[in-house]
Amino acid sequence: MLRTYGTLFRGKTEYVKMYGEDIHLNEKARLQQPVKLQPAWEENNLPEDELNFKNLTMEAPVDKFNLIFVTFLIHGIGILMPWNMFINAIEYFTNYKLSREYVGMDFPYVPTFMQYMTFCAQVPAVVLNWTNIFVQMGGNLTTRIVWSIGISILVFIITVILAMADTSGVPYLFFWLTLILVVILNSANGVYQNTIYGMAAKLPGKYTGAVILGNNISGTFTAAVSLLSKISTPNLKMAAIYYFISALFVLLICFDTYFALPLNRYYRFYDLKHQKEKTQAAISAGGSEKPPYLKIFKQAFPQLANVFLVFFITLAVFPAVQSGIEQSDPNFFIDKSVYVDVMCFMTFNVFAMIGSLLPSYFIWPSAKYLWIPITARFLFIPLFLFCNYQVKGITRVFPLLILNDYVYFIIAALMALSSGYLSSLAMMYAPRTVEERYAPTAGMFAAAALITGIFSGILLAFIWPWVIGHIGA
């Protein structure tokens, strides 16, 4: 026994003699390094083994104060902020900047301005969302998000300048410049949206739900800002300036919160877990593994189809049809001047937000049967056309069956509620249909299906002015 201890002691003494000088030098070098102020174990540059994540054998840490949930919710707001800002400003464009009183003529693109603007918004978003799945443009995540948010901020600055400038003598220049800005804005936003959904897919399903919830809060926030800006000043020019400036603050918050993600223990755990799974898959494949895109697409297809249909049906009527539905009862409790703001934009966004909150409390139906309520939503299209939908310059001959503003409100609320709820479920189910290491790619496919559904619904909306003017009883 004593002999054993002696051997161990001699071994330790020899080790100190051999490596003592190196230990001394390392300690000296460490002491000579400048002092760093670090937020303990959440500092971005700490090695993963200091976070106890080296072997990922521990349980996942807790999302303290729901910071990561709130962060993705904020980015959900930022993703749809550009889209919501422009569609909610429809009266600024049609009743002010391109109105007969301002430009001195009947501008030919006013009746279909919403369709043109939404078309220009979604074409680049569709192209870039799908392209970004296979070719991650702009380098790493930070580069892509910084550039996309930065470009969005620049576009809104130019939009504010245009709102302040006198463009009455150049309506065509203003019209085409606005559409160009919309294209640039949504090109950047397409990369931003796709990247955020891919990041959220690394985490449990509720974080994808947080992005969807943020999308719907974005609409509610935008509708509220639009309403408040109109109430605060009767001057449409000043209202537009206040309105567009508010978007800048939201985008700056998104910019800042992105850099807080790597500082959080909860997010880093799942990010490292995803990286480890990719590395193991690459090693087993004998090199860098390329995601099997076709396999992922096939496995996720049922939920991708659900995502597509939810947004296709929603965008077929909102905002193109709903923004054209006029007040039927002059004694209705909502004033005519804010009827569209409240009954179209505010109603849709508030109830869509409520719908996206519901999956936090219950989930029904299951992924297998989700297509049933989604397909049933096609009934909303004729219901909205039967309401008091009017288009400038077109005489309506389509049957007008719903002239009760309260009935219209119920239809609008149900459409929005189902849109928020069912889209959240579909987006949450999609990444769970594939192997965990492919979840981010499935999440990106879901984001692309979302934007494709929006684009296709907008294309369908182009036919409604013709339908109500040519199809009669």
Predicted local distance difference test score (pLDDT) of residue 139: 59
Does residue 118 carry a pLDDT above 90? Answer: no
The Cα–Cα gap between 294 and 429 comes to: 18
Predicted local distance difference test score (pLDDT) of residue 417: 96
Predicted local distance difference test score (pLDDT) of residue 227: 84
Banded pLDDT at 22 (limits 50, 70, 90) = very low
Task: At 325, give phi and psi (nearest 5°).
Answer: -80, 125
Q: Tokens for 380, please give them.
A: 């909303």
Does residue 49 carry a pLDDT above 50? Answer: no
Pick from 173, 197, 185: which is nearest to 87 by CA? 185
Torsion 42-43-45-46 (CA) sign = negative
Predicted local distance difference test score (pLDDT) of residue 14: 46
Q: What is the mean pLDDT of residues 14-34?
A: 46
Q: What is the mean pLDDT of residues 6-15?
A: 45
Question: Which of 115-119, 247-251, 303-307, 446-450 bottoms out in mean pLDDT, i.e. has the lowest?
Answer: 115-119
Predicted local distance difference test score (pLDDT) of residue 213: 84
- How many Cβ atoms sit within 10 Å of the Cβ of residue 69? 20
Q: What is the mean pLDDT of residues 228-236?
A: 79
Which amino acid type is present at position 335?
D
| Cis status of the peptide bond prior to 302, with omega within 30 of 0 | no
Predicted local distance difference test score (pLDDT) of residue 289: 64
Which CATH class, in words, describes the domain spanning 65-470? Answer: mainly alpha
Instruction: Compute the CA torsion angle 404, 406, 408, 414 (nearest 10 deg).
Output: -150
Q: What is the mean pLDDT of residues 125-151?
A: 78
Pick from 317, 318, 324: which is nearest to 80 by CA? 318
Would you call 463 helix, strand, or coil by DSSP?
coil
Predicted local distance difference test score (pLDDT) of residue 54: 53
DSSP letters for 24-89: HHHHHHHHHSPP----GGG-TTS-GGGGT-SS--SPPPP-GGGHHHHHHHHHHHHHHHHHHHHHHT
Q: Tokens for 94, please give them.
A: 């049609």
Q: What is the pLDDT of residues 198-223, one digit of tens each?
A: 888 888 888 988 898 888 788 888 88
Question: Which of 39-53, 68-82, 339-353, 362-376 bottoms out in mean pLDDT, i.e. has the lowest?
Answer: 39-53
Q: What is the mean pLDDT of residues 126-142?
A: 74
Burial 233-242 (b: 16+ CB within 10 A, else e): eeebeebbbb
Question: Which of 18-22, 184-188, 336-340 bottoms out in mean pLDDT, i.e. has the lowest?
Answer: 18-22
Mean pLDDT of the chain: 83
Predicted local distance difference test score (pLDDT) of residue 56: 54
Question: Which of 99-108, 131-140, 254-263, 264-273 bottoms out in mean pLDDT, i.e. has the lowest?
Answer: 131-140
The Cα–Cα gap between 281 and 438 comes to: 10
Q: What is the mean pLDDT of residues 391-408?
A: 92
DSSP letters for 154-169: HHHHHHHHHHHS--TT
Pick from 396, 399, 395, 377: which is nearest to 386 by CA? 399
Does residue 413 carry a pLDDT above 90? Answer: yes
CB-count burial class (<10 Å; 0-12, 13-18, 19+) for 386: middle
Predicted local distance difference test score (pLDDT) of residue 58: 61
Predicted local distance difference test score (pLDDT) of residue 11: 46
* pTM of the model as a whole: 0.71
